[in-house]
Amino acid sequence: MRIREDNIYIVGHKNPDTDSICAAISYAYLKNAVNGTQKYVACRAGQINEETEYALKRFGYEPPRYLPNVGTQVTDIDISEAEGAPNDITVRMAWEYMRESETVTLPILSRDGMLEGIITVSDIANYYIDAYAKTIMSDAKTKYYDIAATLNGRVLVGNPHGYFTQGNVLIGAGTPEVLQTQISKDDLVILSDREENQLLAISEGASCLVVTLAATVSEQVRRNAEEAECVVIGTTFDTYTVARLISQSIPVKWFMRRKGLITFREEDFLDDLKDTMSRHRHRDFPVLDHNGRYVGMVSRRNVINARKKQIILVDHTEESQAVDNLREAEILEIIDHHRIGTVETMQPVFFRGEPVGCTCTILYSMYREAGVDIPPEIAGLMCAAIVSDTLLFRSPTCTPRDETAGRALAALAGIEIETFAKEMFRAGSNLKGKTADEILHQDYKKFIFGETVFGVGQISSMDRDELKDIAETLLPQLEVECGRGGTQMVFFMLTDILSESTRLLCYGTGSERLVRDAFGAEIEENCVELPKVVSRKKQLIPAFMNALQAS
């Protein structure tokens, strides 16, 4: 049985920003340092932006594992590691294997592990009952060595690695006169110890003799067989037993199922498995990896006992911002610095939400509380997150704790924080080669208030001219985004870090009224200037929510 890895995944929101990514990495490091019995894995629910990419490269980290969906998958199920069999084994070998391993389905594999077919106990039973054709062994190109092995015998004359490719299988009973009328060229003949019948079969062109009851094969018979290129097999079994067993020597690939195989991939989701299993009443189903190689078998029992993914959410509590299929997972913890959103849990969880400017500020406190030293590269990532979320301590979301943590982490990372911030913001606002859709979703979040659904994206820059160029690119894209997933209004914040102001782009029915009610400002050509507004979380969203509540 291949037991699934009990990883616990730490993941931020979709369209992740620097805090979402760095918090996942930093918290995974802390959890692994404190709890050695579990493996905590940092993940991301979307593509990283240039700012985050700069921070990761600066401190020597690869982007976390991509986890866009936390629904239960085949990889979350205990899969039976039933070994596959090569396609040249015999029916008898397949039966013995299934009997010893107490399985009813045997996957047949190529040399490189690719699934070629399957055979079941029912297939073998049906074959054994219906195997009437006298040419079935030659049609299947049965190897002489396998015939001898199936009969617990050995090849006395001829090439054991040759194949029986033509002719019938018959029992050479009766007088030579009767036998002569029965044998045709290339037949396989089952004989007893009568030498005259053995010689006659050779002379009539038989390609193989099976001599039963450990009967003596004379030198004359051996010489004639060699000259006629006739294989001779000796066995201790009697004629009845040989006749009953010999057809079990054909290769299993001759009648295994090749077409219409019902298989699953490791990345398939549980809902798809259940639907397929309900329509196909098989007991076991092969599982393949992403390269198509066989890895094991999954049954209905495995699906019934499937366990949900265990996850920890960081930097969000809004279900609309969360990884897909969140309700199919088991949420263990939530660490966040936003308002409490719409995420629901089935059981009590550890929740830590604090009114600070960045999730990594909370994590800085948690490291100190746990007595865990922060490595320089982790300190650098946490510092980058705080710088990003607080706009280098300029955002109204910034608290004294954020600045204290940010400067302490900068010292641990060995960086000059002001210089680092300029470099990171410059990298984040470099949008050359990006489409309007990519720019819009670089840092984009969806919000739901009652029946109102709106999205807000944001880019912060120290270059006013660059922000102006972005506005011209983005305005048409807002119209495209409006309507997706029920979104009624779309906004985009072009935040000037140096002047501590935002140019807000707006689109959608009700967007002008919402901005007017929230800020007392009038929109002109889908734009409005908002002085001293730089924070989506602390300034824009609360103002929008209050306006919607009052309307």
Ordered by where they begin, the domains of the chain are 7-71+309-428 (3.90.1640.10), 76-129+254-304 (3.10.580.10), 141-249 (3.40.1390.20), 436-550 (3.10.310.20)
- Position 132 scores a pLDDT of 59
Angstrom distance (rounded) from CA 401 to CA 398: 8
Classify residue 108 as exposed, middle or buried by CB count within 10 Å of its CB (0-12, 13-18, 19+): buried
What's the Cα-to-Cα distance from 442 to each of 4, 17, 458, 492, 493, rounded to whole Å? 34, 8, 8, 11, 12
> SS3 for 137?
helix
Strand partners, 312: 10, 333
Regions in the chain scoring below 50 on pLDDT: 1-3
| Token pair listed for 365 | 């406190």
- Position 169 scores a pLDDT of 92
| pLDDT above 70 coverage of the chain, percent | 97
Q: Kindly report, residue by residue over 219-277, the tens digit of the pLDDT.
A: 999 999 999 999 999 999 999 999 989 989 999 888 888 888 888 998 888 888 888 88
- Collect contacts of 37-41 with beta carbons under 8 A, ≥24 apart: 38/6, 38/7, 38/8, 39/5, 39/6, 39/7, 39/8, 40/7, 40/8, 40/9, 40/10, 40/312, 41/7, 41/8, 41/9, 41/10, 41/65
| Token pair listed for 225 | 């067989």
| Alpha helix segments (H runs only) across 344-443 | 359-370, 376-390, 400-413, 417-428, 436-440
Angstrom distance (rounded) from CA 215 to CA 389: 90
- Position 436 scores a pLDDT of 87
- Position 130 scores a pLDDT of 63
Q: Kindly report, residue by residue over 498-511, the tens digit of the pLDDT.
A: 888 999 999 999 99
Q: How many CA atoms lie within 13 A of 125 on its CB side?
A: 6
DSSP 412-428: HHT--HHHHHHHHHHHH
